[in-house]
Structure 1
Amino acid sequence: MTDRFSTVLLRQLNAGILPYLLILAHIGLGSVLVYVAPRSNIAFLVLISSLLSLYVLKADQRFKLVAGAVLALLIIPVIGVRNIFYLEVIFQISVFAALALGLNIVVGFAGLLDLGYVAFYAVGAYLWAFFGSQQYFVLSFAPGTQPSNLPFLLPGDAFYLFLFIAIIIAALTGILLGLPVLRLRGDYLAIVTLGFGEVIRVLANNLDKPLNFTNGPQGITPIQRPTMPEWAVQGFNDLFGPLIGHTVSPADMYNLFFYLLALLVILVIILVTRRLNDSKIGRAWTAVREDETAAIAMGIPLVRMKLAAFAVGASFAGVMGVLLAASRTFISPESFSFMQSIGVLSMVILGGSGSIPGVILGAAVVTILNLQILQGFSLYLSELRQSEAIIPLINFAWKDLSTQLDPAKYQRLFFGLILILMMIFRPAGLIPAKRRRRKLADDPATAE
């Protein structure tokens, strides 16, 4: 009944020029709200949800491309520089969307459950962290000590080269993981990949002796960033300075730079993923996911297809690891825990396993829930605790509210409830893949 109602509603909204007007109204309303109230979370959610309107509503592709380009390259940079936190949220969405797309190759396309996916993310991050910092020259020093005036091993602009090197190194790491687990499937595969992810994290945590490669739990810093041209800062201030209301510093320009670079990387990843999904390799992955025995009988090279899935998925994580290390200028093993892998997997399941727009939406929902909704609610409760306000009906003072009820502490509980509700009411995800949707529609138990 719900699907039928949504179908009828979309049909009404997609009539004539109405979708064009709705898209323009959504983008315009969100832009005005964020510009007037640059610190409002609700205004930001209205603006960022306009991307969903671009996807759902049926309009000419050229119109959608122009509207999306204006939103991504003009509106978001302007409002992001006015409030850097928004730019940080969008950067995090881009990073996790790329990770979710990579894991979607392994889990959604090939049907291989990988619980250690964040290990490839760590490989890319530590690759640039080692060569783009002073860590090479502190190999013989004790962990945590870093004498001043040490040179950097490579110039900061080598970062661009390492984006491509990380793709190769992470892909090779994915193949090394795939080789010993080719005969495994299901729970056994999940346990081995989980162990692989923990091995990488423990190595990063303990490779500070006898030679100090990773600086142990204290992490590596400072990590170089590429050079920011002065003409870029000056040109941006000349064009958008009146709209922003202040001069943009080079530090703020780096936030904008990494946002644009992450946007470029994720567009390339989406293009590669779509091409792979519509190719012979994508169909072979689908066959392997549905039935390995039948796939072998049809002549599909099972070993090669599994290794290809691990390599492609790992390469996406590797390039984003380099981007993370350069943007943060600091990394530590805590950033690559097992819970990070579970978080990325939850994005894939929430959005729709095998669906490219679905996993992007899942990454956006989980990231916004983490960085804005739960944290914003926690800050609001903290303000209430510091006030003398009283709940009228029960005569309870907010200042007596226990800090153990902080919503940010129950992040995993909320994710678990969301996933349970998704499996009950929408098992195919928010935006299910076409094959998955047809399969569920043909299943009598699911239909009932």
Structure 2
Amino acid sequence: MGEQSPEKLLTPVLSASWDQEDSWTLDNYRAHGGYRALPKALAMPPDEVIAYVKDSGLRGRGGAGFPTGMKWQFIPQGDGKPHYLVVNADESEPGTCKDIPLLYASPHALIEGIVIACHAIRSHHAFVYLRGEVVPVLRRLQAAVAEAYRAGYLGKGALGAGGDLDITVHAGAGAYICGEETALLDSLEGRRGQPRLRPPFPAVAGLYACPTVVNNVESIASVPAIIDRGKEWFRSMGSEKSPGFTLYSLSGHVARPGQYEAPLGITLRELLDLSGGMRPGHRLKFWTPGGSSTPMFTDEHLDVPLDYEGVGAAGSMLGTKALQCFDETTCVVRAVTRWTEFYAHESCGKCTPCREGTYWLVQLLRDIEAGKGLLSDIDKLADIADNINGKSFCALGDGAASPIFSSLKYFREEYEQHITQRGCPFDPARSTAWADDDSSAHLEVNA
């Protein structure tokens, strides 16, 4: 991949028409090949569609990277119960911004994917659980669903003779925990959003205790292109175990932040070449490969392949592919404190390790950042994070511990400086490290 020109590294599929006028309309979507895959899929038996998506190697784009076709295959057949598809659009991970622009610019890609997925898992009702704060996206998605009903893609006979299909768009109330699939299901049922004990898994007892598939927006929106252009075409991109294209969210101290759709396995160095590099006069200090809940990397990881295996082998997780890049003016302790405050605020409180642990992490980090900590507090931080990691009810606790572990691994000296110098060395009142000729370039942690 490194021998190609930067422009050839991009593979616009989902984002191909985002710059078109009225890209969100049904007419524009159809003009760019939209709904071309739907009749092909409906002509295939449901199990054949599942096998096709499984053979394509599509992996869940929500963070875990679980094979999408395999998740569909887990739905029991002939059980006499209704089956549900739930699309997780509760994008709340700090630094992540791929599903929201996708829904805003091309909502019909998701709708077509939903119809195909519902045919495959034999479902007649799909739900889209959308992050409630993004009202313009909610309205645009609702308008697109209404368009699809009028055009006959939804409603009576949408899945063929006698095959009706309905989509319900549900707006959440802004709780990060509802991005966890079982907490999302509880919220969708009208209860407080808290993770469920598993087993049973959603595939057996999900929404309303019925078999349910929960998929990310990007995962479902990728299905029509796979059906239309073929699984071999999809597998021609990316790596053997992480095939296909995906959306990388590049943000922070970079010259041109934004969405970059490229094959899995591209490196941050290549993405920075595409985006004009770091802001002029500055260098990369640390970055996250998949949002703030993934262990951070440094400039020594610029050439790590950004696929599930490559990032995992380097000690982190690909997650939501939210590449937050921070330059040398950024205080690591300050960034980690802001992230940890977010996780403490968003903890649902159901389990003790996360509820109590994130609270005490914040207290220690605030003291260290303010120069009021002790050197022994650094080991105490690591100890508390260890008591959260792998011991909480869901992955929120693990996500809160990840920045602690990784920042101590790479920047322990910076923590010690805050303590020995009785304050932040990056404080504008104490240092010139924040001096910059373009104040608008200072992008803070989005929590």
Q: TM-score, normalised by structure 1?
A: 0.25
Structure exhibiting the larger radius of gyration computed from Cα positions: 1
Q: TM-score, normalised by structure 2?
A: 0.25
